Amino acid sequence: MTKSATARQGTASRNYPKGERRRAQIIEAAFTAFGQVGYRNASMVQLAAACGVSRAGLLHHFPTKESLLEAVLEQRERQDDAHFFRAGAAGRDGLEYFASMVRLVAHNQANPVIVSLFAVLSSEATAADHPARPYFVARYERARGQMQAAIDDLAERGLLRPDVDPTGLAADLISLIDGLQVQWLLSPDTIDMPSHLRNMLRNVIRVEVP
């Protein structure tokens, strides 16, 4: 390795982590801002100020507000996945799937910023012209598919309560989880999300979810 290559590499490794840290810091600030005031209402100028960077510095990392939104949604997805699939629940075992779901809801309840972000963005994104609309349409389709596979597994194993119709049950349980987020954010002392989810699962599944 030439001296100049070593120098370049040294510069790069000093700069790279700093740039990454800055990028992560901006995503974190956006995560909070989008959950507090929504995507449309969040201001790039205020976000830059909150991170102590210039507007140009912010635009260096995220040339558009849409690109920042994309990064925030990716990060949320990674966080969910990390927690959700920790136990390897990939929808093959229905009971294990719902056990992971209860854990995920408990994890989110300890992290209001995650819950706010999801509640605010998902409803804001229902507008026809919202840049996150395609993301949420696809996300819900995927989520319904995964959960329905878990429910079908339970149905095949005879673990659903008699008279429970598995058709469309995934959309119902996802709705329950989403709706609880809003009630919990408004009345955190009244609503305990994991307990409510467990109770509703008891109404449809014959055995206790681990």
What single-letter DSSP state applies at residue 203? H
Task: Output the CA torsion sign for 146, 148, 151, 157.
Answer: negative
203 lies in the binding site for a second copy (CB under 8 A): yes
Helices 133-156 and 169-186, packing angle to 10 deg: 120
What minimum distance in Å lies between the beta carbon of 39 and a second copy?
9
Task: Output the CA torsion sign for 119, 122, 128, 130.
Answer: positive
Cβ atoms of 102 and 83 closer than 8 Å = no
| Span 132-191, contacts to a second copy by CB under 8 A | 133, 136-137, 140-141, 161, 163-165, 167-169, 171-172, 174-180, 182-183, 185-187, 190-191
Nearer to a second copy, 29 or 53 (CB): 29
What minimum distance in Å lies between the beta carbon of 152 and a second copy?
16
Helices 3-37 and 44-51, packing angle to 10 deg: 120
What minimum distance in Å lies between the beta carbon of 3 and a second copy?
55
Residue 160, helix vs strand vs coil: strand
What minimum distance in Å lies between the beta carbon of 79 and a second copy?
19
> In DSSP terms, which residues pair with 205 in a beta bridge?
160
199 lies in the binding site for a second copy (CB under 8 A): yes
What single-letter DSSP state applies at residue 161? P
Q: How many residues bind a second copy (CB under 8 A)?
A: 49
Among 25, 75, 79, 122, binds a second copy (CB under 8 A): 122
Residue whose C-alpha is closest to residue 70's, from 103, 23, 104: 23
Give the CA dihedral 173, 175, 176, 178, nearest 10 degrees.
130
What minimum distance in Å lies between the beta carbon of 142 and a second copy?
12
Nearer to a second copy, 24 or 137 (CB): 137
44 lies in the binding site for a second copy (CB under 8 A): no
Give the interface with a second copy as residue ranges (CB under 8 A).
36-38, 40-41, 116, 119-120, 122-127, 133, 136-137, 140-141, 161, 163-165, 167-169, 171-172, 174-180, 182-183, 185-187, 190-191, 195-196, 199-200, 202-204
